[in-house]
Amino acid sequence: MSDLNALYTPLEKIPQVHEGLKKAFRSGKTRPIAFRKTQLLKLCHLVQDNLQRFKDALLADLGRPANETDFLELNGVLIEVKKAYDNVEKWASTEKPPFSLFWFSMSPHIRKEPKGVVLLISPFNYPVYLLLCPLAAAIAAGNAVLLKPSELCTTVAALLTELLPKYLDTEVYEIVNGGVEETTKILELPFNHILYTGNGNVGRIVATAAAKHLTPVTLELGGKSPCVIDPDCDVKVAAKRIMWGRLVNSGQLCISPDYVLVPKDFQDTFVEALKQAYEELHPTDPLKSGMLSRIVNERHVLRLKRLLDNTKGTVVFGNKVELSEREIFGPILPVVPVKDVDAAIEFINERDNPLVLYVFTRNRDFKKKVLNNTLSGTASINEVIMGCQAEGLPFGGVGASGYGYTTGQAAFNTFTHMRSTVENPTWADSLLLHARYTPYKSAPLRRLTWMLRPSIPPLPKD
């Protein structure tokens, strides 16, 4: 691991960085589409030229297998950045609202304006994806960006700090490194948008600091994503997908399946399927096979160990904590028996809104019932994790799992102000609009009102 302390940005430099970004944004440099495209292409190359270094850095910080980093992190970054590169003209182009006979003379348009200087604060678990994807959206939207990587992934943060200035324009995109003290200092400054990804407690701190400047915020927060199991599901596939989803990055994934709600009389069958899935996914000791990431630090290992030590449930398998290796063997997947689907729905609705809701069933009515009676950031049927990267789907939480969207065009919109404009020719006063002027004359005003007022349908009879 790198010594990030050596990279920490001195506190007194932070306002200067912010001021520099503000000035550079005001110069208009980030606005031309050609500039945005060049920077996005350079960002693609930053990742592509350094794939191995990113894999090594993630191995150093999280013990993550290189294949997993390729598949679930770096591919995702390249897809998102390239998508922004391919679509920036379309996303940024001025739009016309649908034709309206009354308003067309005013030539109404929606301009897509960059918000200004935006702040991205990212967590340790997918430290490249969760920083560079929003960066791509913010660049595409024409903003200047201050990036704050997680201090827990020191090697990744050091690598990004080295590479960013080599590829991107340092006047408008800059990294500030540090921990709580530095981030607190950053949050004293007025930004035009803040995207924070991480835990809900810090999310509240960020939103409170932002409120002082009326800064709009997007929060991507914790998961608590349940799996609802219908006994009429493909149990083998369900168990395999859930177990895989729980073990990826050692469970340090916001969209990990967090717990399973299963009907009581199906519990034993399902737990047995989970055990078999585990053995299939890890035929040899994952401590030695290098197929399982490590938990990011000792504090988090102890937190997980406490969960296991204090559980009122039965530990079915696993429960091997290797503290010296900073490791917990088999991240935790609580299986909660419930009476039926209604009890599962009640269980979910009594708690915070999940980031993702997973449903495993072959039955259309079962699926509909769960979706129609719950609310979550996103939902996947018979799938875990993968669906959240599906092309064209906005990703974001709701309630305690956050607010706002961070992928594709939805992410571009997050960092964009929709500025409505009209342009009324002087001759328009000779039509209906002259009626607005005082002294009012009732006949033209009646005509104007008649044109503007919507007709309301009558209430249906009981």
Positions marked catalytic: 220, 254
**Which of the residues 54 through 83 are near ligand NAD (CB under 6 A)?**
none
Q: Shortest approach of ligand NAD to residue 201 CB, angstroms?
A: 8
Nearer to ligand NAD, 192 or 252 (CB): 252
**Which of the residues 179 through 208 are near ligand NAD (CB under 6 A)?**
179-180, 183-184, 197-199, 202, 205
Q: Shortest approach of ligand NAD to residue 288 CB, angstroms?
A: 28
Q: Which stretch binds ligand NAD (CB under 6 A): 145-153, 237-245, 279-287, 341-349?
A: 145-153
Q: Which of 147, 152, 210, 248 binds ligand NAD (CB under 6 A)?
A: 152
Q: Does 30 bind ligand NAD (CB under 6 A)?
A: no
Q: Shortest approach of ligand NAD to residue 69 CB, angstroms?
A: 15
Q: Does 148 bind ligand NAD (CB under 6 A)?
A: yes
Q: Does 404 bind ligand NAD (CB under 6 A)?
A: no
3-state secondary structure 123-181: CCCCCCHHHHHHHHHHHHCCCEEEEECCCCCHHHHHHHHHHHHHHCCCCCEEECCCCHH
Angle formed by the axes of helices 33-49 and 75-92, nearest 10° = 170
Q: Shortest approach of ligand NAD to residue 218 CB, angstroms?
A: 10
Q: Does 254 bind ligand NAD (CB under 6 A)?
A: yes
Q: Which of 123, 134, 263, 354 binds ligand NAD (CB under 6 A)?
A: 123
Q: Which stretch binds ligand NAD (CB under 6 A): 38-46, 103-111, 176-184, 225-233?
A: 176-184
Closest CA to 331 of 369, 361, 292, 375: 292
Q: Which stretch binds ligand NAD (CB under 6 A): 70-78, 99-107, 122-130, 133-141?
A: 122-130
Contact 195, 115 (CB under 8 A): no
Nearer to ligand NAD, 54 or 124 (CB): 124
The Cα–Cα gap between 136 and 142 comes to: 10
Q: Which of 2, 150, 161, 225 binds ligand NAD (CB under 6 A)?
A: 150
Nearer to ligand NAD, 183 or 215 (CB): 183
Nearer to ligand NAD, 164 or 254 (CB): 254
Q: Which of 24, 121, 189, 321 binds ligand NAD (CB under 6 A)?
A: 121
The pair phi, psi for residue 380, each rounded to 5°, is: -130, 135
Q: Does 411 bind ligand NAD (CB under 6 A)?
A: no
Taking CA atoms, 49 is separated from 42, 85, 111, 156, 167, in Å, by 10, 17, 35, 15, 11
β-pairing, 257-263 vs 335-338, is parallel
Q: Shortest approach of ligand NAD to residue 299 CB, angstroms?
A: 9
* Bond prior to 286 in cis (omega within 30° of 0): no
Q: Does 397 bind ligand NAD (CB under 6 A)?
A: yes
The pair phi, psi for residue 396, each rounded to 5°, is: 180, 160
Residue matched to tokens 């400047």: 213
Q: Which of 355, 356, 370, 379 binds ligand NAD (CB under 6 A)?
A: 355
Q: Which stretch binds ligand NAD (CB under 6 A): 70-78, 150-158, 314-322, 329-337?
A: 150-158
Contact 183, 30 (CB under 8 A): no
Q: Does 218 bind ligand NAD (CB under 6 A)?
A: no
Q: Which of 25, 91, 124, 412 binds ligand NAD (CB under 6 A)?
A: 124
Q: Does 222 bind ligand NAD (CB under 6 A)?
A: yes
Nearer to ligand NAD, 80 or 151 (CB): 151
Largest CA distance in the chain: 88
Nearer to ligand NAD, 148 or 240 (CB): 148
The Cα–Cα gap between 256 and 355 comes to: 10
Q: Which stretch binds ligand NAD (CB under 6 A): 100-108, 219-227, 262-270, 363-371?
A: 219-227
DSSP string over 15-31: HHHHHHHHHHHHTTTT-
Number of H helices, E strands in the chain: 17, 15
Report the residue count for the chain: 462
The Cα–Cα gap between 403 and 424 comes to: 37
Radius of gyration of the chain (CA): 26
What sign for the dihedral angle of Cα 62, 224, 67, 271? positive
The Cα–Cα gap between 233 and 230 comes to: 6
Q: Which of 245, 402, 404, 408 binds ligand NAD (CB under 6 A)?
A: 402
Nearer to ligand NAD, 116 or 203 (CB): 203
> For residues 170, 172, 177 and 183, what is the CA-based torsion angle, rounded to 10 degrees?
170
Q: Residues near 37 by Cβ (< 8 Å), separated by ≥ 6?
A: 85, 88
Nearer to ligand NAD, 115 or 224 (CB): 224
Binding positions for ligand NAD, rule: CB under 6 A = 121-125, 130, 148, 150-152, 179-180, 183-184, 197-199, 202, 205, 220-223, 254, 355, 397, 402
